[in-house]
Structure 1
Amino acid sequence: MVLSLVSLCAREVVSDHSSSPSWLSCLPRELYRPLLDAAFDHNRPLAVGELVQRWPERTLNVGGQKKHGHTPPNRLCIQALLLSVVRGLTDKRCALQLLDLSGLQCDEGLLEDSMGGWSLTVALCSTLMQAQDSRGCRRDGERERKRSLKTQRERDSIIKRDRGMESRKRGMEGEEGEFVSGDKKGEEGISLMRVCSQEESVPGVRRRMELQRRNEPQQTNCSSDSDQPEVVRVRADLFINARSWDRVCGALSLVGPLKLYCRYLRVEELPAPSVASLLQLLPREGLLGLDIRYASLGVSGLALLLPQLEPFLLLHTLKLHYCNLDLRRVQSGEQGTMQDMCRGLSALKQLRRLSLTALRLPGHLRLVLSSLPQPLEVLELPYLSLTPADMSYLSCSPHASSLRELDLSENRLDESAVPSLRRLFSQAETRLVQLSLCGCGLSDGLLGTLLPSLQRCRTLRTLRLALNPLTRSGLVSLAWTAVEISSLQLLLYPTPLEEYEPGLPPLPSSAQLLDWPLMEGSEVRKLTLSQLGEILEAKGRQHDLLMTSDLLKYSTDLTLEE
């Protein structure tokens, strides 16, 4: 990547922190963004803090940098960013109203000094609480100042009252000691008695101050914090588990100068009531996706949670991974609960992406998908124990022609599923972009019957077929089909059976293929790579089509972004 002149200059400017007072005083607003990018790219947390504290724009988008090829900011820069947002609340030069941190978190363990989703969520919630505490300190200081001014005014009024009484007494005695008339003296006496009775009814200054302090909390409680205007809206992706649930709920319950909004919510190992409580605290606008993992929800838990999602009108993604939902063991008393679950799905008007991992739903796919009000664009159904009836429904459903991404991995497919799959590919051939059939038990013969239908998918960019029992001959046929798909950019192919150590069964499962050792130091692997290279070169696809069998290190840049 060639850096522009502005980027090169910005890197030099932020590299020397001692010069920051000179350029910050005369910095035009157009240069704040390049300088902040340079500070993030070159790990200058002090420069990040000074720039954000004086941010001249109403919006600051930090999370989107990762989509444009930038590495995620390190931990110190993110902490400096959050602290400077709090300091900017009292800085008149700061015009920030919306801070967008969506997508800022780094994948756990990807970079050593980066901040993962859980750490970023905890740091962000701590910042909200810090802003609330600092706001409370400023409010207490303002109250004390007003109380002191009021006390001073009361003292001045008492002194003026005493002086007035002394002047009235001198007037009653006359200027030279002469007695006033009886009528006038009576009137002055009545007036003096009235003033004295009023003075006696007023407590002393110290007593009045004590009563005022005692009544002050009641008066301040009457004006709730909800009357205070919201200063900065913070939008982020939240990652919550049992350790951070209390902190996040506390931050969402605060009414302060920073208001937290969630774009994508991911929760792990939380029971259904805890997730429901969390959803009730989230602002209704802005939530686009919900990802629930490793939770024992069951049918009753889903029936509880799905109605809670109806107020989130923009929700388009729902992911349920390993949530202990097994419809093979549904008892007769749970049929009503299943109907509640389906009604909850029908209320999600904008749902376009549905991911169900390891939910045992054999024979119930129609029940789930027919409840949805709109056709899906993304459907992920790995480890669902799908039956031929499920595949038949999917190929004829309204979702088939609208699918852009489809994942049927780890569902055992046989000859009975082939007609449904060919019909499904025919329906989706003009829209399907990503297809995953990993670990489906596709042998040379089964895959050979599907290749003509796959070749007609002219928009396909990613095809994943790892952990299927293919020989080298079947892999070569797959490679010839792949190079004919002009849109294809990634083929994740299975390691051919010839490269495994002896002892594999004729049709091994995906678990066996994953655990079985490969032959090392042989010419078998070189022969496979040579044949694939010749196929790519013959069609001129060696630069725009990646073929790999590496499950861990293949390029993820080709996957579609949400």
Structure 2
Amino acid sequence: MRNLHTLSLVWTNKNTFEHAYTSDYKWFVRTFISELSGISSLQHLYMDGICFLSDNMKHLLRNLKNHLETFSVTHCKLFRSDLYHLSQCWCLCQLKHLDMSGVLLSNFCLMPLRVLLQKVADSLETLELEGCGIKDSQLSVLLPALSQFPKLTKVNFYSNDFYMNVLSDLLHHTANLSNMAMEQYPAPQECYELGLVSIERFEQFCPVLMDTLKAIRQPKSISATDVCSRCSKRCVYEQETRLCSCLQ
């Protein structure tokens, strides 16, 4: 497998977590990760729902032998130290695609992530941080890095907890990114009342955010609420409002 370019690991066994801390399982994981050092052509690494990452991120990164173009770590648990290891890994400094969707970051200092983003500023093309639970103060840490991507074509911040003023700051930082083709931003927290979408507020605040981008360039953006628990759809604002089926 030394010529392998793409590796995708997906959690499919519901019983995996039951065995994650047995000695045999730990031996298997360490052995598997060590084999990555023999894949010298690896460019795209996808790991979705992998339960062993939080104990082995440093070991995994140490065994990567090539600059990656894609690093996708989604729907898994990470520790604070894992973000630091990501920010210091030489093989990630030329990333084109970074996806950490579904990784809960709400309790972390995001300065290591900012360091990583600054390192890949000249190469990054897509950034996906959907459903990470990022709060206003954490986004403010990332903002200085988010205006430095000349090749960025897509960002996804859906399902994060931003209020209107910080979300407006985010759009000001991305407004000058002329290559943007897809922008997915969450509706501001002001659009919710007791956890439910207020149609009136949604239709009030989202056009204001869109105007932030229109003042500089033609926006390719979509603002959307969290997924509705009843119909599994979002309320979306692009050039006009589209409500989920429950609110129509």
TM-score computed with the length of structure 1 as normaliser = 0.38
Question: Which blocks of at least 5 consecutive residues in structure 1 are unaligned?
Answer: 1-309, 505-516, 555-562
Work out which of the two has the higher radius of gyration on C-alpha atoms and give 1 or 2.
1
Report if the CA contact (8 A) 2:65-2:91 is conserved.
no
**Residue from 17, 30, 33 that aligns with 1:342:** 33
Please, which of 203, 212, 234 is the counterpart of residue 526 of structure 1?
203
- Give the aligned residue type for 1:548: I
Distance, in Å, in 2 between the alignment partners of 1:399 and 1:351 is 10
Moved over 4 A (4+): 325-328, 550-554
Query: Where does structure 2 lack aligned partners over 5 or more consecutive residues?
Result: 228-232, 237-248
Q: Secondary structure of the residue that 1:466 maps to in structure 2?
A: coil
For 1:549, the equivalent position in structure 2 comes to 223
Pairing partner for 2:142 from 450, 464, 480: 450
Query: What residue number does 2:11 align with?
Result: 322
Partner of 1:438 in structure 2?
130
Which of the pair has the greater relative contact order for Cα pairs under 8 Å at 6+ separation? 2
Matched, 1:389 2:81: yes
Change (3 A) 1:382 1:328: farther
Cα deviation for residue 405 of structure 1 reads 0.4
Tell me which of 535, 538, 543 is aligned to 2:212. 535
Read off the aligned partner of 1:534 and give its amino acid letter. Answer: D
Whether 1:404 aligns to 2:96 is yes
- Rounded to whole Å, the distance in 1 between the matches of 2:176 and 2:139 is 16
Residues 1:427 and 1:327: Cα distance change in structure 2 (over 3 Å)? farther
What's the Cα RMSD here? 2.4
- Evaluate the alpha carbon distance shift between residue 385 and residue 339 of structure 1 in structure 2; reply closer, same or farther with a 3 A threshold: closer
Cα 1:474/1:328, change in 2 over 3 Å: farther
User: How far did 1:407 drift?
Assistant: 0.7
Q: Percent identity?
A: 25
1:91 corresponds in structure 2 to none
CA distance in 1, matches of 2:213, 2:30: 52
Aligned equivalents of 1:368, 1:353: Cα separation in 2: 14
Residues 341-379 of structure 1: CA deviation (Å, up to 9, x unaligned): 123322322211111111112131122222222121101
| Partner Cα distance (2:61, 2:18) in 1 | 15
Distance 2:102 2:49 in 1: 9
Change (3 A) 1:326 1:348: farther
Q: Is the 8 A contact 2:111 2:141 kept in 1?
A: no
Any conservation in 2 of the 1:323–1:359 contact (CA below 8 Å)? no
Residues 529 and 375 (structure 1), Cα distance of their counterparts in 2 relative to 1, 3 Å cut: same
Q: 1:351 aligns with which of 42, 51, 57?
A: 42
Superposition deviation, residue 410 in structure 1: 1.7
Cα–Cα, structure 1 residues 339 and 362, in superposed 2: closer, same or farther, change >3 Å? closer
1:383–1:411: 8 Å Cα contact kept in structure 2? yes
Alpha-carbon distance between aligned partners in 2 of 1:362 and 1:347, rounded to the nearest angstrom: 22
Q: For this pair of structures, how many residues does the alignment match?
A: 225
Flag the 1:389–1:363 CA change in 2: closer, same or farther, 3 A: farther
Q: Secondary structure at the match of 2:110?
A: helix
Q: Is contact 1:406-1:435 (8 Å) kept?
A: yes
| Other-structure match for 2:241 | none
1:462-486 Cα distance to aligned partner (Å, 9 max, x none): 1110000112222211111110223
- Give the partner amino acid of 1:366: K
Residue pair 1:408, 1:438 contacting (<8 A) in 2 also = yes
TM-score normalized by the length of structure 2: 0.81
Aligned partner of residue 484 in structure 1, secondary structure = coil
What is the alpha-carbon distance in structure 2 between the residues aligned to residue 428 and residue 328 of structure 1?
36
**CA distance 1:331–1:464, shift in 2 (3 Å):** same
Residue 484 (structure 1) aligns with? 176
How far does residue 518 in structure 1 lie from its aligned partner after superposition?
1.9
Change (3 A) 1:537 1:466: same
SS in 2 for 1:380: strand
In terms of fraction of residues, the more strand-rich structure is 2
User: What does residue 498 of structure 1 align with?
Assistant: 190
Partners of 1:343 and 1:442 lie apart in 2 by 33
- In structure 1, distance between residues paired with 2:209 and 2:223: 12
1:535–1:460 distance in 2 versus 1, CA, 3 Å: same
Partner of 1:339: helix, strand, or coil?
A: helix
Letter in 2 for 1:546: K
